[in-house]
Amino acid sequence: MNNYLKTTTAKVIFAFCMVMISISNYGQTNETMENNNILLKEWTGPYGGVPAFDKMNIADVKSALEEGMRLNLLDIEAITKNLSAPTFENTIVPMEKAGKELTLVFTYYGILGGNLSSPEFRKIQGEMAPILSEFSSKISQNKELFQRIKTVFDNSLKTPLEADQQRVVQLTYEGFAMNGAELDEVKKARYAEINKELSTLYTNFSNNILADEENYVIYLTKDQLGGLSESMIKSAAKTASDKGQEGKYAITNTRSSMDPFLTYSTERALREKVWKTYYSRGDNGDQFDNNQNIVNILKLRKERVGLLGFDNYADWRLQNRMAKNPENAMQLMNAVWPAAIARVKEEVTDMQAIANANNHNITIEPWDYRYYAEKVRKQKYDLDSDEVKQYLQLDKLTQALFFVAGELFNYNFKPVPEGSVPVFQEDVKVWEVTNKTTGENIGLWYLDPYSRQGKRSGAWANTYRSYSTFDGKKNVLASNNSNFVKPAPGEPVLVSWDDATTFLHEFGHALHFFSAEVKYPTLNGGVRDYTEFQSQVLERWLSTDKVINQFLVHHKTGKPMPKELIAKIKQAATFNQGFSTTEYLASAIMDMKFHMADPSNIDADSFERETLTSMNMPKEVVMRHRTPHFGHVFSGEGYATAYYGYMWADVLTADTAEAFEEAPGGFYDKELAAKMIKYLFAPRNSTDPAEAYRNFRGRDANIEALMRDRGFPIPKK
């Protein structure tokens, strides 16, 4: 997802959503500061200018934010003091230009918060969060500004503008109206105060997760390494050594470390310890416990949307999403849920049979699921995940990304000379992206692949600069960020099939950024339950023959993956779908139910347990993101009541995959790829998503493609 802000409207909404990062500190002054702060300076150098990552300093953050916000408010003041009747040109256009200095600061701030966080920076985050919220309210609640926007909007309904201008006006008006611009002064004041309180809670929630990930590390001795691969042992040894524990082996409290350990370790007691440590993040009853933060967030969100006349947060949030309302989102999830938990029951039966046959004298528990699922995979499909992993090298997968981008998007990726583009950490690599036919520069792609102290967990995509032709053509600066465990020197990075899929997923976001063809910055945004489609659909190319045959080669022999192994992978395509679908859906349904419930006397822990019990949640599976560390939903608002969007988008993905399967050229059909880019990638948010999909497919997508894709029975109508 793109976490950085390119327009004033986006900044306003950001203060309420706090997607990913919590920023703030506005100290307005009458003096004009001399702009010597590197974080505020226009980017210079090649490729239309690049961020000065090598010169950023935490000491510059506060003053940069203060000055950026002061300049942004001056931009807004110039719009509101215009005595001419409001028009698109004298109101919306200057809004698209406003706050460029603050946008530059946000780029650095995002890196310092997401990739290089430190106690010093977290302290700044905590101080700044409520102050930027106040700053943002100065814009979102500016009566004169909104009146000008509303006038332009009303006039556009009578005399329509050009299509892209009409869309910008609509999105701008809706953004302000949804966030309280039409409230009376008393309600506006409370609305702003709520946002201020929320900004602090979001920052605290996020930093508590990071603290638990950093503070809980499990160290193993040599006799506790049973079942682990050679590459994992070497990585664990290096991680322990880096943490001052020479001779030991570290399992960090992150998914990239936890997941393979639970899959392969023969030490059941240690599997239980690692599992409980990971799934207890934010839920340890200490200073980093998030349960009260959850309650406070839910209460404030409900109160805030109540000021706007909504019964609950979900109704407010989904009004401009593809789903339109929580009932439609729940209908989709409830249609899939019975099939998912039924499949879990089958999977557990298979696993228990293997445990019994081996006289293990256990009942399958959550910390056993991955371990015994792997044994079932071997038994049913003669497929060993560790064998597959030997063919999944990060370097080769990166080349596979470039190949797919070349075949579908006509892009070429070339490493930039070392030192020619500043990076914020030595492991970050940069490639120039060009059009293969014309040689035209499209932009730069940054890759930050490894986990480290101070880097948030998971995988994500950012843009440092989005495409637009509004103020001169802009080359895109995009990044992908992963948390692969850094290998021992000279060793390859071998990843699981799931991690390889995620790698393509995030690259799909980057391709969405690079392929944009829009004029106005606002149109580079997106609708949450649609923008995951572009990333999810790209996952499908990992299992295409052209990628497998060229890039999935053995890390020692260099030989391509054997046809027999490829066949096994494809035969096992729907294996373990019960687990993966259930752990995801449990999180998505809980997200929605939390925000549809009355939070007055809610206890987060009890509500989670009781709701899952009422849903017949299998005891062997846990939510993918338990509530106390559900950062998507409680570190900000980007995915709040929107985590269902992955499944909504996957309906589109499955339907699109079937279109490629039916095309003459399969997944590399040039005509269909061009159509996909034209209608589903290039427009970004300049077209209503439902209309865009109908333009591509000739009809709406339906759930049947998704059910076929996951090997589930199709629900009866």
Residue the block writes with tokens 């989670």 = 608
**Tens-digit pLDDT profile for residues 519-576:** 999 999 888 899 999 999 999 999 999 999 999 999 999 999 999 999 999 999 999 9
Does residue 382 form part of some domain? no
What are the strands, taking DSSP E only, across 347-403? none
With a cut of 50, say whether residue 649 has pLDDT above it: yes
CATH number, residue 404 = 3.40.390.10
Question: What global pTM score does this model have?
Answer: 0.89
Q: Give me the helices (H) in 428-572, please.
A: 497-514, 528-538, 545-551, 563-571
Nearest 5°: CA angle at 15, between 10 and 20? 85
Q: Does the pLDDT at position 255 exceed 70?
A: yes
The length of the chain in residues reads 717
Token pair 């730069």 is found at 444
Number of domains in the chain: 3
Q: How many CB atoms lie within 10 A of CB 572?
A: 17
Residue 18 has pLDDT above 60, yes or no: no
Q: What value does the mean pLDDT take over residues 250-267? A: 96
Distance CA 304, CA 709 (A): 40
- Beta strands 476-484 and 441-450: pairing type? parallel
In a 10 Å sphere around its CB, with 0-12 CB exposed, 13-18 middle and 19+ buried, how is residue 170 labelled?
middle
Average pLDDT over residues 613-633: 97
Reported confidence tier of residue 26, pLDDT bands at 50, 70, 90: very low
Does the residue 493 lie in any domain?
A: yes
Asked whether 203 and 129 are in contact (CB, 8 A), the reply is yes
The CATH number assigned to the domain holding 19 equals: 1.10.1370.40
Cα 570 vs. chain centroid, distance in angstroms? 27
What pLDDT was estimated at residue 717? 64
Residues 24 and 173 in one domain: yes
Residue-level pLDDT at 356 = 98
> In the chain, pLDDT over 90 holds for what percent of residues?
91
Domain boundary (236, 260, 279) is at 279
Residues 143 and 233 in one domain: no
In a domain, 152, yes or no: yes
Domain co-membership, 169 together with 226:
no
Taking only the tens place, the pLDDT of each residue in 282-302 is 999 999 999 999 999 999 999
Q: Domain range holding 225?
A: 216-279
Q: Tokens at residue 451, please?
A: 């986990």
The residues, any chain, with a CB within 8 Å of residue 651's CB and separated by 6 or more, are: 332, 701, 702, 703, 705, 706
Query: Which one of 159, 182, 205 terminates a domain?
Result: 182
Q: Which of 478, 633, 547 is nearest to 19 (CA)?
A: 633
Residue 211 domain flag: no
Verify that 126 and 259 share a domain, yes or no. Answer: no
Instruction: Tell me the per-residue pLDDT of 486-497, one tens digit each, with 9 for 90 and over.
Output: 998 899 999 999
Average pLDDT over residues 696-700: 96
Q: Is residue 275 part of a domain?
A: yes
Measured between its terminal Cα atoms, the distance across the chain in Å is: 35
Tell me, yes or no, whether 24 and 172 share the same domain.
Answer: yes
Q: Could you tell me if 254 and 484 are in contact, meaning their C-beta atoms sit under 8 angstroms apart?
A: no
Residue 699: other Cβ atoms inside 10 A: 9
Query: Is residue 673 domain-resident?
Result: no
Are residue 91 and residue 229 in the same domain, yes or no?
no
The 8-class DSSP code of residue 393 comes to B
Structure confidence at residue 472 (pLDDT): 80
pLDDT digits (tens, 9 = 90+) for 576-606: 999 999 999 999 999 999 999 999 999 999 9
Beta-ladder partners of 476: 443
**Same domain, yes or no, for 466 and 522?**
yes
Give pLDDT, residue 35. 64
Same structural domain for residues 222 and 168? no
Q: Do 140 and 225 belong together in one domain?
A: no
Question: Is residue 202 pLDDT above 90, yes or no?
Answer: yes
Residue 64 within a domain: yes
Average pLDDT of the chain is 93
Query: At which of 496, 526, 556 does a domain end?
Result: 526
Asked if residue 236 and residue 164 are part of one domain, the reply reads no
Q: Per the domain annotation, does 402 fall within a domain?
A: yes
> What token pair was written down for 288?
């980093």
Q: How far apart are CA 93 and CA 88, in angstroms?
A: 6
Tens of pLDDT along 457-507? 899 999 999 998 988 878 999 999 999 999 988 999 999 999 999 999 999
Which are the contacts of 78, defined by CB distance < 8 A and separation ≥ 6? 94
- Asked whether 248 and 221 are in contact (CB, 8 A), the reply is yes
Q: Are residues 112 and 221 in the same domain?
A: no
Is residue 625 over pLDDT 60? yes
Same domain for 64 and 130, yes or no, is yes
